[in-house]
């Protein structure tokens, strides 16, 4: 869609223009100009100390993500297969998904103290539920006709699972993972706001406390770009698989 | 007692579903007696909800009868599906994550057939069902009729001796149905399989079958079994044969009452 | 068949009650026996007692009012503005095509990263909080508005045209009600996200409100107050969410598959 790309470019350009204008109106104490922000972002990426922050966040995010996905899929599969258990658990899980996880923050801080494990815990509680819910839904939504086909073909339970149920459920599970990963990142960063002395989230809150405006904007920009890229990557993977099916 | 040479033999077969909370059991089907000969094309017609699909489930082994015996090749069908049976259902069972070729090859791969043999059989089936040009397409890109052809091809490659079809053309338009009927007959002649077809379309049953079982409203029982005496090498053009009208007439004569009864009871 | 599904439903409900009670009892026991120490968590029964005490004494009434006001303002902002932006985008397909991928990417981005920026822009105060809440919530409303307006079936629209309704009447009398179920979904999500945005903001800014009380209690090891307030928040959210969910489900059922 060439026209859409052009429109998007125009929109982005327009936003940059608005940003520049805001800067000129509000002054350097409030926001920093686009160019200055970009330069600062570049400086940060070249700075060793900032990379330590990135590493810290990366470790926590990676670990939390893996736990959320593995645990979420495991629980989701179990609840999807065991009809009764799934029916019983359904409203509980949906309620847990919808309550603000902030209500659990004090508990996590008290239970895990400050540091890496708290960050990971924050990340996991945010990302776990969508993965579970989507996986459960994916299993339950596998068309019953597929199971009949498996029985007529006299497939073993294992073969049914591996060659029919898994690929049939995969697209929806992936949708859940996409949302879960985004929320895990959110949770990890929040964990760094509250419970850490390292990490990009910590750097961000530090910068805002010291009123280092350009730093705040530069780090925000970097996070924005990172989150958008991860999402785009998962989106791409999802679309590739959909083309296959 | 049934014919010992029958491919399928049902004797006093009935199916009931247990009621809950003190409600009475739902008597869905039967008792039914039926003998289907090897290589026969047998259709079952009847008002909706009469238990035709339940009958198929019991013949295939997907669901055991509550009472009575069901025999396949003289052996009782337990709770599991015996080897040698293939089935095509009304719903689209094509796997959306596989292309046509892989869909058709699916059953063969699961049963450990050698790769050369798989290639040979799949290509043969694709050619037979007119799917060669679509081998790399995905079900999402195909029409309903094409997808049903894929499901039939997938069943065909396994060389079933008994082919069960539960309203396979239900979702298709009339012209496509007639053409699919021709293909089914062609398939039947080439494979020498026994075919049991469930359909609500009387013309389809009249055109395709050697014998037609007419089922009553629920609980389904055979009211009558009509023999068509068609030649084996028939196709859809027999609809212009005068005997076709007579068969249709006989079918509707039996079914009209049952259908009214079924309609009134709201099933 | 209906009887059997009813029987299943009641056994499901009974199991839910049993499981919930068992979990709460286990938690209570774990706290009382010291498996979970008091510094980490107080027993559920004491949480309820603390909540009762807070409500009865009225100590934190102003904070509760503050937070509730913030949430209400943020929801109103998010829903109102979100609806018009959504309706606007729906009416301008070219603009929509450009913005839509950004909308779906919005959720991938932790909006919390903008908090420090908002603090820098708006300073520390109510405005920043409300903006935080609304920011988080508005996209849910926009997305669901577009979804709802999309779902208005062609047949319904054709009927509206046959009735010779002008564009505005079409919007208010036909499209809006038809999109109803999705708009309520948007409202529900807006409430959830606003709560998150505002309470989290109150944690950080710590000027006033439920968030502030929780943070303050946390810093002072006052677990009673902290868990009491958290329980209040939890129950409040569950109640509002439950009501909106029921409304949403009823609308979906009444309007059928669109």
Same domain assignment for residues B240 and B262: yes
Do C16 and A26 make contact, defined as CB atoms within 8 angstroms? no
Confidence of residue C1 (pLDDT cuts 50, 70, 90): very low
For residues C138 and C125, membership in a common domain is answered with yes
For the domain made up of A32-243, give the CATH fold. Answer: MetI-like fold (1.10.3720)
Does residue B246 belong to any structural domain of this protein?
A: yes
Residues above pLDDT 70, as percent of chain B: 97
- Among B159, B188, B205, the domain boundary falls at B159
Residues B215 and B251 in one domain: yes
CATH of the domain at C105: 1.10.3720.10
Say whether pLDDT at B19 is over 70: yes
Q: Span C213-221, mean pLDDT?
A: 88
Q: What is the pLDDT of residue B4?
A: 63
Q: How confident is the model at residue A58 (pLDDT cuts 50, 70, 90)?
A: very high
Residues B184 and B98 both lie in one domain: no
Looking at the fold, whether B178 and B107 belong to one and the same domain comes out as no
Q: How far C4 CA sits from the closest chain B CA (Å)?
A: 5
Q: Which domain holds residue B261?
A: 40-65+75-84+162-267
Do B143 and B249 belong to one domain? no
Rg of chain A, C-alpha, whole Å: 22
pLDDT, mean of residues A15-35 = 82
Instruction: State the complex-level ipTM.
Output: 0.86
Q: Which chain C residues contact residue B21 at CB under 8 A?
A: 3-4, 6-7
C157 and C176 share one domain: yes
Interface check B26 vs C, CB under 8 A: yes
pLDDT exceeds cutoff 90 at B118:
yes
Residue C256 pLDDT = 62
Give pLDDT tens digits for A219-233. Answer: 888 888 888 888 888
**Which residue has 């303050």 as its token pair?**
C216
- C228 to chain A: which residues are within 8 Å by CB? none
DSSP string for residues in A62-122:
HHHHHHHHHHHHHHHHHHHHSHHHHHHHHHHHHHHHHS-GGGGHHHHHHHH-SSHHHHHHH
Residue B98 falls within a domain, yes or no? yes
CB contact under 8 Å between C40 and A232, yes or no, is no
Confidence of residue C25 (pLDDT cuts 50, 70, 90): very high
Claim to verify: residue B223 and residue B254 sit in the same structural domain: yes
pLDDT digits (tens, 9 = 90+) for A37-52: 899 999 999 999 999 9
* Residues of the domain holding C9: 1-39
The domain tally of chain C equals 2
Stated as kind and residue range, the H or E segment containing B62 is none
Q: How many domains does chain B have?
A: 2
Residue B201 main-chain phi, psi, to 5 deg: -90, 110
Domain-located, residue B14:
no
Nearest to B83 by CA among B102, B60, B105: B60
User: What local confidence, expressed as pLDDT, does residue C4 receive?
Assistant: 55
Strand order through the sheet with B67-72: B26-36, B8-17, B67-72, B75-76
Same-domain status, C118 and C177: yes
pLDDT digits (tens, 9 = 90+) for A101-137: 888 888 888 888 888 899 999 999 999 999 999 999 9
How many contacts, defined by CB atoms under 8 Å, are there between B and C? Answer: 13
Whether B113 and B234 map to the same domain: the answer is no
Question: In terms of domains, do B181 and B58 share one?
Answer: yes
Residue B3 lies in a domain: no
Please count the CA atoms within 13 angstroms of the CA of B171 that sit on its side-chain side: 14
B141/B215 same-domain check: no
B28 to chain C, minimum CA–CA distance in Å? 12
Do C31 and C142 sit in the same domain of this protein?
no
- Whether residue C142 sits in one domain with residue C16: no
pTM: 0.81
**Which of these three, B143, B159, B175, is where a domain ends?**
B159
């Amino acid at each position: 869609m060439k026209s859409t790309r052009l429109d998007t470019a125009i929109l982005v350009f327009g936003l940059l223009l608005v940003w520049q204008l805001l800067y000129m109106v509000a002054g350097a104490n409030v926001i920093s100009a686009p160019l200055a922000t970009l330069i600062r972002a570049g400086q940060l990426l070249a700075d060793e100390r900032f990379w330590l922050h990135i590493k810290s966040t990366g470790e926590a995010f990676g670990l939390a993500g893996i736990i959320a996905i593995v645990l979420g899929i495991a629980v989701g599969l179990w609840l999807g297969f065991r009809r009764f258990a799934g029916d019983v658990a359904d409203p509980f899980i949906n309620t847990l998904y919808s309550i603000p996880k902030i209500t659990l923050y004090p508990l996590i801080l008290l239970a895990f103290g400050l540091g890496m494990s708290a960050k990971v815990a924050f990340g996991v509680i945010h990302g776990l539920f969508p993965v579970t819910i989507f996986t459960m839904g994916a299993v339950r939504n596998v068309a019953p006709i597929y199971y009949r086909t498996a029985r007529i073909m006299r497939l073993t339970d294992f073969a049914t699972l591996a060659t029919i149920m898994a690929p049939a459920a995969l697209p929806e599970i992936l949708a859940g993972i996409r949302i879960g990963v985004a929320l895990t990142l959110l949770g990890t960063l929040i964990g760094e706001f509250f419970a850490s002395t390292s990490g990009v989230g910590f750097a961000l809150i530090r910068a805002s406390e010291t009123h280092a405006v350009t730093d705040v904007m530069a780090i925000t920009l970097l996070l924005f770009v990172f989150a958008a890229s991860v999402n785009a990557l998962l989106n791409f993977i999802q679309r590739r698989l959909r083309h296959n099916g | 007692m049934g014919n010992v040479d029958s491919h399928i033999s049902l004797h006093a077969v009935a199916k009931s579903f247990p009621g809950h909370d003190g409600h009475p059991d739902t008597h869905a089907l039967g008792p039914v007696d039926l003998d289907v000969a090897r290589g026969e094309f047998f259709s079952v017609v009847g008002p909706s909800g009469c238990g035709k699909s339940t009958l198929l489930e019991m013949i295939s082994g997907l669901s055991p009868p509550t009472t009575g015996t069901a025999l396949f090749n003289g052996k009782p069908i337990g709770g599991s599906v015996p080897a040698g049976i293939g089935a095509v259902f009304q719903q689209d069972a094509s796997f959306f994550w596989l292309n046509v070729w892989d869909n058709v090859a699916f059953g063969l791969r699961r049963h450990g057939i050698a790769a050369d043999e798989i290639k040979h059989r799949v290509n043969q089936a694709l050619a037979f069902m007119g799917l060669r040009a679509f081998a790399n397409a995905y079900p999402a890109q195909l029409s309903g009729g094409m997808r049903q052809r894929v499901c039939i091809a997938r069943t065909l490659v396994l060389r079933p001796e008994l082919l069960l079809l539960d309203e396979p053309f239900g979702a298709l338009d009339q012209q496509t149905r007639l053409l699919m009927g021709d293909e089914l007959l062609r398939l039947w002649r080439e494979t020498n399989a026994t075919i049991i077809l469930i359909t609500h379309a009387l013309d389809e049953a009249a055109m395709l079958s050697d014998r037609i079982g007419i089922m009553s409203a629920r609980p389904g029982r055979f009211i009558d079994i009509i023999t068509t005496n068609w030649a084996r090498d028939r196709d859809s053009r027999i609809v212009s044969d005068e005997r076709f009208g007579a068969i249709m007439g006989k079918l509707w004569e039996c079914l009209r009452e049952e259908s009214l009864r079924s309609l009134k009871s709201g099933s | 068949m209906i009887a059997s599904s009813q029987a299943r439903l009641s056994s499901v409900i009974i199991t839910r009650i049993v499981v919930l009670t068992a979990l709460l009892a286990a938690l209570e026991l774990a706290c009382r026996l010291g498996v979970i120490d008091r510094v980490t968590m107080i027993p559920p029964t004491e949480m309820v007692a603390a909540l009762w005490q807070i409500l009865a004494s009225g100590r934190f009434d102003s904070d509760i009012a503050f937070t509730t006001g913030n949430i209400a303002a943020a929801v109103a902002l998010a829903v109102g503005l979100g609806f018009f932006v959504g309706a606007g985008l729906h009416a301008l397909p070219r603009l929509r095509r450009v913005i839509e991928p950004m909308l779906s990417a919005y959720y991938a981005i932790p909006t919390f990263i903008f908090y420090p920026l908002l603090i820098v822009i708006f300073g520390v105060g109510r405005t920043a909080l409300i903006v935080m809440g609304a920011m988080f919530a508005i996209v849910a409303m926009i997305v669901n508005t577009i979804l709802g307006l999309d779902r208005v079936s062609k047949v319904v629209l054709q009927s509206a045209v046959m009735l010779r309704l002008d564009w505005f009447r079409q919007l208010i009398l036909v499209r809006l009600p038809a999109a109803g179920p999705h708009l309520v979904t948007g409202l529900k999500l807006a409430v959830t996200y606003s709560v998150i945005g505002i309470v989290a903001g109150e944690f950080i800014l710590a000027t006033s409100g439920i968030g502030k009380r929780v943070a303050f209690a946390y810093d002072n090891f006052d677990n009673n107050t902290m868990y009491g307030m958290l329980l209040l928040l939890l129950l409040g959210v569950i109640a509002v969410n439950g009501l909106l969910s029921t409304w949403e489900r009823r609308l979906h059922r009444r309007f059928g598959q669109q």
